Amino acid sequence: MDASQGNNNKLPSNLPQLQNLIKRDPISYAEEFERQYSVYSATLVIFEQNPTVHNDQLHELVMFMAQVAQCYPKELKEFPQELMTLLKRHASVLHPEMRMSLVKALVLLRNKNLLSPTDLHILFFQLLKCQDKHLRKFLQQHIVTDIKNLNSKSKNMKLNKELQNFMYEMLKAKHAVAAKTSLNVMLELYNKKIWNDAKTVNIITTACFHKVTKIMVAAIKFFVGKDDDGEGEGNKSDSDSDDEDEQSALKAAVMAYRVNKKTKKRKQKKMQKVKNIVKKNQKDKTTKINMDFSALHLIHDPQDMAERLYRKLEGMNERFEVKLLTMNLISRLIGIHKVYLPNFYPMLQRYLYPHQREVTKIMVFVAQAAHDEVPPDELEPVVRCLANNFVTERYSNEVMAMGLNAIRELCARNPYGMPEDLLQDLAQYKTHKDKGVSIAAKSVIILFRDKNPMLLSRKDRGAPTELKAEEKQQVFGGGNAKSFIPGAEILSFKVENEDNDNTDSEGEDWIDVDHPEIYMAGSDDEEGDEGKENEKDEDNEKTLTTKEAVKEVMKLTAEERAERASDIVTSRFLTDQDFAKIAAVQAAKYVEKFSLNKKNKNSKRKLDIIEERPEQGELVPLKNIEMIYKKRKHDKESRMGTVLAGREGREKFNQRKGKMNPNASTTNKQKKKGKNFMMMKHKVKGKQKKSFRDKQMKLRKSLLKQQKFKT
């Protein structure tokens, strides 16, 4: 007998070897496969008579058939259906290992595209009823992986819609495990950006009203969880371009604003302020454009969802943490979608007390639920509640500071609910002895200098600027739409463009903008510049420097600026250099004090010192409420570190052990240390502690001696 014949005799008992040979040459080993298939059919019949027992032979044959199924599609056409029928019929009584082997065989068939995903997912959701934790984890992982692979190259919208409808049906199922698994699958697919469409989000919203608390909490946490930061390669390029825009705008601002300079110190101080304003405006602009696009934006009917959640919250008997999650979701729906839910604010007022657990989070919810379309009558009681319950001398300084911070965050989103008398009372805390309270009160004053300074007392309004003079005071329900870009009036002048090599047309060298000395080398010669102003003012077609153009803009009235800016915006496209010049002139207006110049000295201009600040963020960080400026006490380690640092470089503060002069004689005390113990024994004995009897005898002798002297 040759070697090949002996190898064939071993194939019936060596399925891995036969599997390898069949994958290489299916036709040559068709006979061996038919023999194994007949054994599988007979073993399956025997197994169905007693499905609770684990059958090793059936396990090996099932895995063998699943591995070679693509080689004999006609013979194994009914094989997947047989396994699915076996699982449907005996899923609850099967041995766990046997059940897992059948499931893995179906996964292999699905990976070979021999089984439709919908049929397999339906079966797997039915298997979730089995009391097998490892099986449920495996099934959920496969469903997510399978859907991810289906959408790896391109999204199959028809199949996705079919699977989403099935997930929605499972979410409404009475079986809690199936509903929880369906929710977990959709949450994971959304986080992996596979199913991140509006339909998936709105299916998840239905889970927020589920009767099972775990499912409801998981859905609510999805909406109130951490938003996507959007970090990636695309955003890296965006940040690089934003840095370039900031540098160009900052360069234009530094070059533009060099007017009304009296001293070098004042010049540097004002220029540094301009730099800070430009950087802040660029940062706010970038933050506003690249805002977090969370799932809350994809909800179809946020008004109905907020109302249903509020009704559920009213009758909720769950733990306080669950109530906080529900409050958070309602407040975000109100703030982001500008939902009107007047009953929500009185509910939050019931929790606004310093002794309330998690009161800082409730303050955040109050601020998040405020937007510019909420009537002042709804928010005024909330503001007074915060002031009466927190900003009072009855409580600690930390409580007062948090109350003022909460009022600031609320009024930053809707300043119309602040009464004038209350604001002026809160402003008095700017002189409080505690630093945290005083800074919090000053932040409220600074906010209303921008929002509505007329509510402040005259001394707290601050000096008006050119930018504030252009703006009109906002009222509740009134818009602030403009038909032009503020600051575009500078483009009506012919302004020379600065070169990229940091030099201007006059040959003056630039110093790096990050350096404190940000002025050009030839900027001291201002008299010549002022002498040229009249010539360039007469002929606007003549090329002006950015500095001179800003001077000309400051001479115009608000109406003239608006007219010129409107003409520029409607007549041309603006470039990045144009926006840099606009940012420069706006920064100059921010620090330039408003005054009636010679050109419009006799004209009556109404002074509305309202500046439109960039829009507030969608969410209120908890640190904005808990932000307390106070010098904390050092712990023992930090105190010892400070003490030891102060001792460095000085002699040790103790008794000197050595002699100042090594040749000097020693003292008697030092000589005693070198003497023999027997020589000092009698002296050491006198220093020993006396017994009680010795003390008693000594006291007796002392009393007798005193009595003798008296007689």
Mean pLDDT score of the chain: 78
- Do 362 and 421 sit in the same domain of this protein? yes
Question: Is the pLDDT assigned to residue 36 strictly greater than 80?
Answer: yes
Q: Is residue 169 part of a domain?
A: yes
DSSP letter assigned to residue 488 = G
Q: Is residue 429 within 8 Å of residue 438, measured between CB atoms?
A: yes
Q: Domain containing 579: what range?
A: 251-290+466-475+483-499+536-595
Of residues 231, 182, 188, the one with CA closest to residue 210: 182
Burial of 694 by CB count in 10 Å (0-12 exposed, 13-18 middle, 19+ buried)?
Answer: exposed
Q: Determine, yes or no, domain membership for 70.
A: yes
Position 602 scores a pLDDT of 39
Q: Which residues contact 327 (CB under 8 A, 6 or more apart)?
A: 313, 348, 362, 365
Q: Would residue 210 count as lying in a domain?
A: yes
Q: Which residues lie closer than 8 Å to 352 by C-beta, 6 or more apart?
A: 359, 362, 363, 366, 382, 385, 386, 389, 390
pLDDT value of position 585:
74
pLDDT band at 479 (very low <50, low <70, confident <90, very high): low
Q: Over the range 365-403, which residues count as b (16 or more CB within 10 Å of their CB) and which as e? A: bbbbbbbeebeeebbbebbbbbbebbbeeeeebebbbbb
- The reported pLDDT for the residue numbered 344 is 95
> Using CA atoms, how far apart are residues 20 and 36, in angstroms rounded to an integer?
14
Same domain, 258 and 299: no
Measure Cα distances from 187 to 123, 159, 203, 211 in Å: 21, 18, 10, 19
Same domain? 267 vs 217: no
Does residue 435 share a domain with residue 405?
yes
pLDDT band at 653 (very low <50, low <70, confident <90, very high): low
Note whether residue 333 is domain-resident.
yes
The pLDDT confidence band at residue 513, using thresholds 50, 70 and 90, is: very low
CB 383 within 8 A of CB 410: yes
Instruction: Please tell me the predicted confidence (pLDDT) of residue 639.
Output: 84
DSSP symbols for 630-683: --PPP-HHHHHHHHHHHHTTS--SS---S-SSTTSPPPHHHHHTTS-HHHHHHH
Report if residue 3 sits inside a domain.
no
Structural domains of the chain, count: 3
CB 409 within 8 A of CB 367: yes
Residue 361: pLDDT band (50, 70, 90) is very high
Q: Is 277 found in the same domain as 220?
A: no
197 with 277, same domain: the answer is no
With cut-offs at 50, 70 and 90, classify the pLDDT of residue 468: low
The reply to whether 633 falls in a domain is no
Q: Last residue of some domain: 595, 614, 638?
A: 595
Query: Looking at 183-197, 553-567, 650-664, which range is the least confident one?
Result: 650-664
Segment 309-358, tens digit of pLDDT:
999 999 889 999 999 999 999 999 999 999 999 999 999 999 999 999 99
In a domain, 659, yes or no: no
Specify if 123 maps to a domain. yes
Residues 66, 105: contact at Cβ < 8 Å?
yes
**The CATH number of the domain where 216 resides is what?**
1.25.10
pLDDT value at position 366? Answer: 94
Query: 299 and 316: one domain?
Result: yes
Identify which of 603, 520, 588 has the alpha carbon closest to the alpha carbon of residue 549: 588
pLDDT for the residue 170: 87
* 27 and 47 in a common domain: yes
**Which has the minimum average pLDDT: 133-137, 273-277, 388-392, 616-620?**
273-277
Task: Answer yes or no: do 183 and 79 share one domain.
Answer: yes
Name the band, by pLDDT with cuts 50, 70 and 90, for residue 526.
Answer: very low
Q: Which secondary-structure segment (H or E) carries 472?
A: none
Between helix 359-368 and helix 320-337 the angle, nearest 10°, is 20
Nearest to 258 by CA among 266, 536, 486, 583: 266
Residues with Cβ < 8 Å from 501, sequence gap 6 or more? Answer: none
pLDDT: which is higher, 458 or 226: 458
Sign of CA pseudo-dihedral 288, 292, 295, 296? negative
pLDDT of residue 216: 93
| For range 136-155, the mean pLDDT | 88
Asked if residue 301 and residue 170 are part of one domain, the reply reads no
Question: Which is higher by pLDDT, 272 or 436?
Answer: 436
Which of 575, 595, 615 is where one domain is finished? 595
Residues 151 and 257 in one domain: no
Q: At which of 462, 491, 515 does a domain end?
A: 462
What pTM did the predictor assign?
A: 0.67
The model's confidence at residue 305, banded by pLDDT at 50, 70 and 90, is very high
Q: Are 282 and 427 within one domain?
A: no
